[in-house]
Each structure stands twice: as structure tokens, then as C-alpha cells.
Structure 1
Amino acid sequence: MLKKMALLVLVIGWFSGRAYADVSLLLHEAIGGSGEFTAGGHSAIYFSNICLEGPTELRMCRPGEQGIVMAAYPGFGADKPYEWLAIPWFPYLYGVAQTGEVPLYVNGEIRTLLRSNGRRQYFNDIVPADPNGALPIGRWQEMIGTLLNRDVYVFTLKTDWKEDAALVEEYNSRANKRPFNVLYHNCADFVREVLNAYFPQATHRDVLNDFTITTPKALAHSLTHYATKRPERLFYITKYSQYPGPIRRSLDNRNFSEKALTSKKYLVPQIVFKPILIPIFATAYFATGHFNPQRAYERYASLTIAQLELEAIQLRQQSVASQPYSNSLAPYGTDSRAARLMEIEREKAAERLRLFGTKPDWAHYKTAFEPLLRQAIAQGYFVDEREVQTFFKDLELQSEPFLDENGLLMLRVRDYGVARRLGLTRANILSPDSDPQLAYKLMLVRVRNELYGATKNRETFEAFEADWKLMQELATRCAALPAPNTTRTSAQARFLEHPEKFTFKQKMKKWLVRITH
């Protein structure tokens, strides 16, 4: 029976029409209280050629399907003893089904709405609706729209359908009930076992820096080391940035020794009580634990670069083979191979320019943006710079999300006593139902945060230029309308009607997090 099942899986894989596919390690940045104290983050795994019959049953993908993400969490919900769940790639990342539905801004209420819709679509049989209408508890929520909470680095290698088919057979034939254990079988252990089934000994714990616990960053470090020695696997890294909005940004992944050296909550007690620990942690970290996912991403930034690197290696090998005894200072000759190698370097530079831009490029946009923002404040779009800085949070407090007739996100906004609507996707922000002045404010703040925020939090330069173009189009539309400060009838000075109030305890908590981070 098992042999017949295996044969069936292989046949289905053959008919999928893919000679090869991808498998990817997803490194999620840290969030929440546990992230503040451990900075471990989360890991999951993506298969471009494996799809779902149900949340816990796998099959090979059919043409046009997008693959799935599998992840292990400690408790997907009440009475849900699953080791892992899976969901299609796009809703796992974005919380929506397709590109046109991706919001330009999210907040806590939008996150709840997207996850509620996602539960009904993907996990309704596993996580039933709460009778009180609340979002059911459980870590299933983390499987829908992970970019709502954090940045994700995706480390990708090429596989083939035979390797994928073997994994499908294995996971469909074994019980999906292995208990989660932080020390011995956590999310990173789950991913490590899967990756090592594809690439034996490719990933491992960092015993010295993580005190024998498997961490997501250790997997990313060891997989990068493995893959960069095997260019035929076409290794590359993609970065997906957290949605813009008032939700707190995620934290860099750090191993335990790095956290002990960089976090004041751990470093200060060491200085006071056990200073001998500092050189021990420093030696361990700089000897074997130093790895920066952002730097790795900038180096191995796309499949195009990986393909060009492989071509360059093959050309060099051909040149050496054709001139085994040459002592020339130009070992690649003066033939077409040498010309192609130079062309490859230019193509790699162009690809990095598309992804990252240059410092002069970003400086040019900053210079062009500053008068636009000053003009917007002068015209009454914002009261002052402070209102620009708080606009994303103010917008959350002044609005409620809903889906329009096409299923796209919009906000109902209380704008100085007037009820307005604001489209939140590229497909409806320019629609007649979306207020152009609110849309312009949204894009001004989005562009500002990209220009003046941390470099690592930026999207690609290409994506930023698309934002800039949309902002300019909205500016052109608003130029034909009366300026906000000439039409406002409300005596309210600021966009936010009722400023958020914090208790003393909440203020102390924020203060402690800020000074001990």
C-alpha cells in the first residue's frame, strides 16, 4: 500500500510540470515580551512545489499554485495537539489572497479583521468560530499575515520534485502530534529536521552561543554557510518588510551570547556582579556566532544574482580548464568568456541598484520630499511635524476597517467631524469612494517613514519608487481641490479627537522597555 502511495505521489509530481522547485527557511524577527527578553524570533519553512489538500494533508502542487508554508507552534488553539499546520504562501505572508489586496497600511483592528477572514478561509475546520464573536485564541493567528507583526528573511535553495515528493509521503504517513518543547523540539528544531532531510547536515544548533537550544538565527547562519559552498543550489535571500502602521516594529534576531552583550538588561548586571562573563560571551560570539541577516541579504539578494554568480563560476572553470598551464595575469583570457564575466558584474550591479538604490538616490528623494511635507503642513493636511509622526496611530484611533464591494480593505475615518472613506490598497486608494486628501496624507507619511527610518526597515528601492509615484499622483489630484485649512469648519485643532491615555503602570512599562532594550 505504501509503495502504491509513493508511486502516486511521484506521478502527480511529474505531471506538475516542474523539473525543480525551491525550499526556503523563513527567519522571522522577534516580537512581544518573549522577543524583548530572548530576541529568538521564529522559523518556518516554505515549499514552492508542495500544496495542501487540507491544513494537515500535503500533495504536490498543480500548475499555477503558489506552494505552502509549514510551521510548528506551541498550541495552535484549544485542544489542537498538532505539531504543525500549513497555509498557502501569500496569505501566510500578507494575510490576503493576492497582490491586489495587499494593504498600504495596517493597525491592530485591521490585523484582527484579516486574521478573522483567514481563519474562516483556511482553518475553519480546525479552529471553529468563537461563540462570543471574538477571535479564537491560539497560535494559528501567527499563520496568517506574519508581516502584520514583523520582518521576514527568506533563505532559498533549489530542490527537485523527487525530494519534494519524498517529503510529502513522509509527512502524510506520520502522526502530526509531536509535542512542542522549547529546549528539545521547538519551531527551529522542526525546520532543522526538514531541511536536513533535503540537505544532510546543512543546519545545526549553535551549542556555544545558544546554550544547546536550536534557534532560528543559528539555522539561518548554518544554512548560509552550507549553501554558499554549493552555488548549483542557486542560494539567495529575500527580505519582506513589516507592514507600515502603528504596530510596534519587530526586533533583530540575536543569539543568546549576542543578547548578553548588547542588551542593557543583561549587560549591566554582568558589569556589576560578574564582569568575568563579558569576555566569555564576547569570545564565543565573535569566534563562531557573528551573523547579520541583513548583511547576508544585501550580499545574496535575488535569484538573478545567484544565477549570474553560478554562470561566472562556470566560465572561470572553463577558462582554467582550457589554459591549465597559463601564468597569465588575465587567467580568463581575452575571448568572449572574459567579456561575459565583465558583463555579469555589470548585471549584478544593476540588480543591486534595482533592489537597494544608492546613497545619492535616497539623498535625492529626501531633498525632494522636504518641501512637499512643509507645503502639506502649511496647507493644513497636518498641524505640525508632531502630527506627521503620530498620524499612523491617530488614524487607527479615528477609524474602523471594512471591506468594500470588491473585498478590498477600506477605512471609515472621522476626519474633523466629517465621515470619509479611505482606500487602503493600490487597487482602491484612487477610487472615487476613497478621499484623495486622506490618501495623500497616508502616502506622505508612508514615504516619510521609508526615507527617514532605519535602512534595514526599508522595502526595495523599486517598491519605494512605486510609493513615490503614487504619492505624486495623489498630490496632483489634491492640487485641484481646496486646501484642507480653507474648508475645515470644525473648531478641533488636531486630527485626533481624543488622545490616547495611559495609566502610570503602562507608562512605566514602556519606559523600562526603552531603557533596558
Structure 2
Amino acid sequence: MCTIARVQAGATLFLGEPYSYDGAFAGTGHAALYLSGVCAASPLVLRHCLPGETGIVLSRYRGIGGYDWIAIPLIPYLYAVEKPEDIPLFADKKLVAFLRDQYRRNHLEAVVPDLPDDRTPDGAWYQLIGASYLRTIYAFEIETRPEQDDKLIRTLNDAANHQRWKLVTANCADFVRQVISFYYPHSVHRSIIGDLGVTTPKQLARTLSKYSRGHPELHASTFAIPQVPGTIPRSKRVRGVLEVMLTSKKYMLPLFLFHPFAAGTAVAVYVGHWHYNPGKNAPILDSKDQLGVALTSADRRVLQNRLEELVQTAAAGAYADGRHWTSFRADAVPALDHFGGPTLQARVGAEIMSVGITRSNILSSLVGSQFAAALMEARLREELKSAAAKKTARADVESDLALLKQLLESQPKESASTGALASGSAALPSSASQ
């Protein structure tokens, strides 16, 4: 990403919102570190970046090949594709699973091999790629020096890379804390009170932000990478350990019933010191890799009205209604076009329909443009929901409205393929996705 990967080398803390509340410290999210000056000869061997390369994301994982850390290039880490132009406009679980498996088979077989019958393995490997389909990520960037990158590359390449993950003492945030401290000692630390001594992603962001304010020479910046619109549940607000206790009934009620003094102290500490919002006033990374402002309430109302006007004035048959779009998406098989861009394929009546789902291929064919328009409408409605609007760049919504208008105008009259909507869609054989 051009905005993230600058000429000057940098280290960027990725604070990922939680997408599941399972686990002992549910809601604390995930921590990873993006290094724009460090690349990977393989997922397990680091090297210097060549001109034009965008660096890697480094994190600690549990149960993936027995390794402690794994390095993934930036774009695949975020979107499970290799090129920015192949990022889908709208995603569901079926598409994300397809993109992840395609990337795994092409680049991660040494770490996550096929099962004996060539099937896709289960396990936590999915965490390696496609993070932005699951969560919004807050980025906290500081500058580094090439000699610091040199030293880190040598240190990690020379040390044994064996699994060290432990929930309380060696989790993903502990690994990131150690690497950031490698660059800038004492810049980040755990919280004995606020997180009961457990290193959390939110605490890393808080302490790194504080450290950066005292060191303006690091040219720190903060921004948000929004979750890709789609049917996958939206990620939740990131919390610390103490916040989990005070906002979760399974922890809060026993604490107040049996330890009211401790509970009162915890509330005072939280309100006084730990109410930190990592995404407050953060600019949003848009689809053109530029940082822009999030939608305001007034923006949202204006843009919603423009969307409704576009849909209501569209020519008959210019787009598939919600019922037909949902049916098409449910039956469609993810596939790749001749250029490697993601598409959806399904049989509509007697016709095999292929719909581009990225900015680079959604206009590639008039056939299927009704479903492409429906996809854009679905994306826009997700972006304009009140919770999502706070994490959506206004420039993206403006661009999406223009693209929807172009799609609606591309088929002003009802076509044969539109007429086939009434007969419904049917799934293609699974081989279509290969």
C-alpha cells in the first residue's frame, strides 16, 4: 500500500478488533507488526525489501506448523490476494475461504500443506491471510532506520523459530512488544493494573502512542484499515482485560457480588486511566490507498438519499433486486478470471453468468451487470450503516456511488439475462472454482 509503505522504513503496530468473543480474554483483539523495510524470502526467512516491495506483517501464532512467528506480505495478510486491484468489493465466508486456499496452495504449502487427499486442512492457518475480511485494524506507525531492520533480520533468522505461544505470558501482543522494544527500548509495556499483567494489543497501542508524543522525530501516524463490506459479522470494539471484566456479565456479576471493594477500585482505575479509544479521530485508509475522513452523520444522510435516488430511478431490469441477488450469491461459485481477479459464477437460466467483484473487473462485461449493480448496492448499504459509517472513508462511498451509477446505466433496457432472473440461479459444479 502506497500510503503505508513509504520511502522511509517504518514499523506499524496493527491492532485488530476482535471478531469472536471466545477465549479466556475475549475481546482483546489481535496484535501484529507491519515492517515496510523488511520482506520475506519465505514465510520463515526474512530479507531486505527490493525496490517496489511493500514489506511484511509479522506476528506470533499458535498451532501453525509448530512455528513461533510467520511473515506474510502486506496485501495477502490483509486481503488474501497478491495485488491491490484484486481486492473484492464485497465478501462472504465462501469467497474468503476460496481466496485463502488459493493463496495457501500457491505460497504457503511448506507451512500449511494439503491433506493427503489434496483437501484443504483445518486449523488456525486462516489467521495468516485475509485479516481485513474479519476485522477493522488500527495502525500505529513510527519510523525506523535501515540498520535497525538489518539487526532484526539477523536476530530472527538466526534464532530458533519454535512455537512459544502462551495465553498469559507469550501471546501475540507479547511478541509485538518484544519486537517494538527491539527497535525502541522501553517504548511499550504491559499494564499490571489495567490488564492484570497480561500484555494486550490495546495496551501496546496506548503506550506506543504516548511514547511517540514524546519523540516527534519518529513522525508517528495513526489510521484505520476498515473491514471489507460483506455478510461476515462486523468486528467489535477492542478492550483490555479489566474492561472485559467490567463489561462482561460472566466476570462482572461475581466480582461485584463477592468482591465489591475490588470491583469499585477496578471501576475507578478504568474510568480514570484506561478509557482509551484507539480509533478516535483516526483517518481511514480508502481504496486508493489515501487517508481520508470518516463519514459524519450528515454525510451519511446525504449519501443515503443519493443511493435511494439512484436505485429508484434505475431503468427496469438494470439491476437484480435483493431477492435475486441473494439467490445468485448463495448459488455462485468463487472463481478467478484470466487475469487472476476474483469473480462469482453461477448458472442463471440456461446461461453461465460470471460477475466481476473487484474495481478492476466489475465493468468487464455487460452480461451480469445487473448482479454487479446489486453487489454495489449491497456494499453501499453496508458502508452506510450507522456503525460502519464511522469506519468508512467518504471518498470510498462517493466512488462506489459513481460505480453503481455507471453499472445501472450500462443496461437501460431489460435483456435476455435479466429475464432469466425469474427462473432463478443454479450452482455450478465445484470445478468452476479451480
Aligned with 2:176 (options 174, 191, 203) = 191
Is residue 2:58 matched to residue 1:70?
yes
| Inter-CA distance 263–378: structure 2 relative to 1 (3 Å threshold) | farther
Structure 2 CA distance for aligned equivalents of residues 85 and 26 of structure 1: 15
- Give the length in aligned residue pairs: 418
Higher gyration radius (CA)? 1
1:232–1:400: structure 2 CA closer, same or farther, 3 Å change rule?
Answer: same
Cα deviation digits, residues 473-510 of structure 1 (max 9, x gap): 112113x2228998357477xx899xxxxxxxxxxxxx
Mapping for residues 302-451 of structure 1, pairs under 5 Å = 354-356=292-294, 358-375=296-313, 387=323, 394-415=327-348, 419-432=352-365, 434-451=367-384
1:42 aligns with 2:30: yes
More displaced stretch, 354-363 vs 151-160: 354-363
- Match in the other structure for 1:315: none
Between the aligned partners of 1:296 and 1:356, the Cα distance in structure 2 is: 9
1:412 maps to amino acid: Q
**Inter-partner Cα distance in structure 2 for 1:22 and 1:52:** 16
Choose which of 401, 413, 419 in structure 2 pairs with 1:481: 413
For residues 383 and 97 of structure 1, the distance between their equivalents in structure 2, rounded to whole angstroms, comes to 32
**In structure 2, what is the Cα distance between the partners aligned to 1:463 and 1:169?**
40
Match runs of 1:98-137 below 5 Å: 98-137=83-122
Identity in percent: 33
Q: How far off is 1:278 after superposition?
A: 4.0
Amino acid in structure 2 at the alignment position of 1:487: G
Letter in 2 for 1:106: A
Residue aligning to 2:430: none
**What letter matches 1:132 in structure 2?**
D
Is the 8 Å Cα contact of residues 294 and 393 (structure 2) preserved in structure 1? yes
- Alpha-carbon offset, residue 54 of structure 1: 1.6
In structure 2, list runs of 5 or more residues that go unmatched: 1-5, 428-434
Does 2:227 align with 1:289?
A: no
1:174 pairs with 2:162: no
Task: Give the whole-Å Cα distance in 2 for the aligned partners of 1:85 and 1:409.
Answer: 26
Q: How big is each residue's C-alpha offset from its partner over 1:227-255, in whole Å with a ceiling of 9 and x where there is no partner?
A: 12222211111211112211111121111
Cα deviation for residue 259 of structure 1 reads 2.0
Aligned equivalent of 2:12: 24
Shift of 1:424: 0.8
Deviation, structure 1 residue 281? 2.5
Task: Check whether the contact 1:87–1:122 (CA below 8 A) recurs between aligned residues.
Answer: no
Instruction: Tell me the distance in 1 between the aligned counterparts of 2:46 and 2:159.
Output: 12
How far has the Cα of 1:20 moved from its partner?
3.6
Could you say which structure has the higher helix fraction?
Answer: 1
**Residue type matched to 1:22 in 2?**
G
- Deviation for aligned residue 1:375: 4.9
Over 3 Å counting, the alpha-carbon distance change for 1:153 and 1:433 in structure 2 is same
Residue identity in the other structure for 2:381: R
Structure 2 counterpart of 1:279: 264
Q: CA RMSD in A?
A: 3.0
- What SS does structure 2 have at the residue aligned with 1:437? helix
TM-score (structure 1 length as normaliser):
0.74
Closer, same or farther: CA 415–45 of 1 in aligned 2, 3 Å? same
Structure 1's 99 and 374: CA in aligned 2 closer, same or farther, altered over 3 A? same
How far residue 381 of structure 1 moved from its aligned partner, in angstroms, is 5.1
Listed one character per residue, the Cα deviations across residues 91-144 of structure 1 (whole Å, up to 9, x for unaligned) are 111111111111111111211211111112321222221223332233332111
- 1:216 pairs with 2:201: yes
Q: What's 2:432 paired with?
A: none
> Which deviates the most, 395-404 or 55-64?
395-404
1:20–1:158 Cα contact (<8 Å) kept: yes
Amino acid at match of 1:203: V
Separation of aligned partners in 2, 1:490 and 1:39: 44
The letter for the 1-side match of 2:216 is: P
Contact 2:223 2:279 in 1 (8 A): no
Task: Measure how far apart 1:226 and its partner are.
Answer: 0.8
TM-score by length of 2: 0.87
In structure 2, the CA distance between the partners of 1:458 and 1:416, relative to structure 1 (3 Å rule), is farther
CA offset digits 1:345-369 (Å, max 9, x no partner): xxxxxx98x4335543333212222
Provide the C-alpha distance between the structure 1 equivalents of 2:119 and 2:390, rounded to a whole number of angstroms: 32
CA contact 2:351–2:417 (8 Å) conserved in 1: no
Q: Which residue does 2:221 correspond to in 1?
A: 236
SS at structure 2 position matched to 1:412: strand
Equivalence map 1:260-275=2 (5 Å): 260-270=245-255, 275=260
Native 8 Å contact 1:188 1:219 kept in 2: yes
Q: What do the CA deviations read for 1:17-40 (whole angstroms, capped 9, x no partner)? A: x98411111111112342696101
Q: Does structure 2 conserve the Cα–Cα contact (< 8 Å) formed by 1:158 and 1:235?
A: yes
